[in-house]
Amino acid sequence: MSTSVTVTALYAPASRPELLPKALNSGADAVLVDLEDAVLAGRKDAARTNALALLDELPNEPDVQIRVNHPRGEHGTRDLSALGRHPALRQGRVGLRLPKVSTPDDVDVALELLAIDDVGSAPPMHCLLESAEGVENATAIARHPAVIGLALGEADLAAELSLEGEEAHSWIRSRIVVAAASAGLPAPAMAVYTDLNDLSGLAESCVRGKALGMFGRSALHPKQLPTIKEAFAPTEDEVRKAREVVTAAASGEADETGALALPDGRFIDAPIIESARRTLQLVERLS
């Protein structure tokens, strides 16, 4: 899998193989091949076959992740057992998205079905938290050694918790941001925005998520990708401030607290400097 920054991730139902090449050429940083919610029960086996065929000719870019069915269900058992035998997964060239993860035990069940004995050889595993129990166990799930990322399934959470409106998700989003950071994982990406025609609403939602510490977003349609990319790209002011910080760090000397003083009187320390460097790296990546 590529190590580049993931800003946009596009879902593509594996039950519609004609859409998979289009998704791979959409410009998304990652393609999420879906075996779960977007696939009707009667098409699960065909979708799995299509996903395996895609892995036989796996491209170098973009990153590809397979969203399997829940590991404790019939379809998830079949998904993971079949994928576990594929070389692309064994070599870590494709990631897995585990839906409706409630506890770290769900990850262990998935590893057993994949026939992975050594966690160090597990494929990259991204956990979707879609229930109150999953959110409550976010920190424990994030610290599982096979897990490399967290994300929310906000539609299921909204239904379970009777949430209404964008702001109702703020605390939950902050909760998994903290859980991911405490485990040394990247900032979680935002869940899909389901109104495909409301690009202004999508942009506003991305701004809210970014302010809470989230980064990047999954999409249901290619037309959402430019809006997501623009929303998470650093602003001119953010870039200017990041350059000031990096320049000061390169030429200045720290005081007794390990902090540096900028010409305008602001003090910066190591975490701020590292954040500024990430901002400039992101600018380079997006350009």
* DSSP per-residue letters across 200-251: HHHHHHHHHHHHTT---EEESSGGGHHHHHHHHSPPHHHHHHHHHHHHHHHH
pLDDT above 70: residue 257: no
Say how many residues make up the chain: 287
Mean pLDDT of 108-129: 94
Q: Specify whether 279 is located in the same domain as 201.
A: no
pLDDT above 90: residue 267: no
Mean pLDDT of 29-39: 96
Domain assignment of residue 266, yes or no:
yes
Q: Specify whether 139 is located in the same domain as 262.
A: no
What is the percentage of the chain residues whose pLDDT exceeds 90? 74
Q: Write down the residue that tokens 């190590």 correspond to.
A: 3
Mean pLDDT of 184-192: 96
Which tokens in the block code for residue 148? 């490399």
pLDDT of amino acid 284: 78
Q: What is the pTM of this model?
A: 0.88
- Angle (CA) 104-107-110 rounded to 5° is 155
What is the percentage of the chain residues whose pLDDT exceeds 70? 94
Domain assignment of residue 160, yes or no:
yes
Across the chain, mean pLDDT equals 91
pLDDT of amino acid 215: 96
Domain assignment of residue 2, yes or no:
no
| 104 C-beta neighbours (distance < 10 Å), count | 18
pLDDT of amino acid 2: 44
Give CA–CA dist 199/223, Å, rounded: 9
Q: Specify whether 132 is located in the same domain as 244.
A: no
pLDDT of amino acid 162: 97
Domain assignment of residue 265, yes or no:
yes
Counting the structural domains of the chain, the total is 2
Higher pLDDT, 120 or 29: 29
Mean pLDDT of 16-24: 96
Q: From residue 130, how far is each of 115, 155, 191, 209 by CA, in Å?
A: 25, 8, 10, 17
pLDDT above 80: residue 250: no
Mean pLDDT of 4-15: 91
Domain assignment of residue 1, yes or no:
no
Which residues lie across from 113 on neighbouring strands?
A: none
Higher pLDDT, 52 or 234: 52
pLDDT above 70: residue 1: no
- 252: pLDDT confidence band, cut at 50, 70 and 90? low
- 174: pLDDT confidence band, cut at 50, 70 and 90? very high
CATH assignment of the domain containing 80: 3.20.20.60
Higher pLDDT, 246 or 88: 88
Which tokens in the block code for residue 126? 């991204």
Higher pLDDT, 107 or 119: 107
* Domain with 275 in it: 236-286
Q: Specify whether 157 is located in the same domain as 266.
A: no
Candidate from 26-40, 199-213, 226-240, 257-271 with smallest mean pLDDT: 257-271
Q: Specify whether 61 is located in the same domain as 124.
A: yes
pLDDT of amino acid 54: 95
Q: Write down the residue that tokens 């897990």 correspond to.
A: 147
pLDDT of amino acid 285: 72
pLDDT of amino acid 3: 41
Q: Specify whether 157 is located in the same domain as 249.
A: no
Domain assignment of residue 3, yes or no:
no
pLDDT of amino acid 238: 79
Domain assignment of residue 174, yes or no:
yes
Which tokens in the block code for residue 147? 């897990």
DSSP codes joined into one string, 138-169: HHHHHTSTTEEEEEE-HHHHHHHHT--SGGGG
Domain assignment of residue 53, yes or no:
yes
Q: Specify whether 118 is located in the same domain as 141.
A: yes
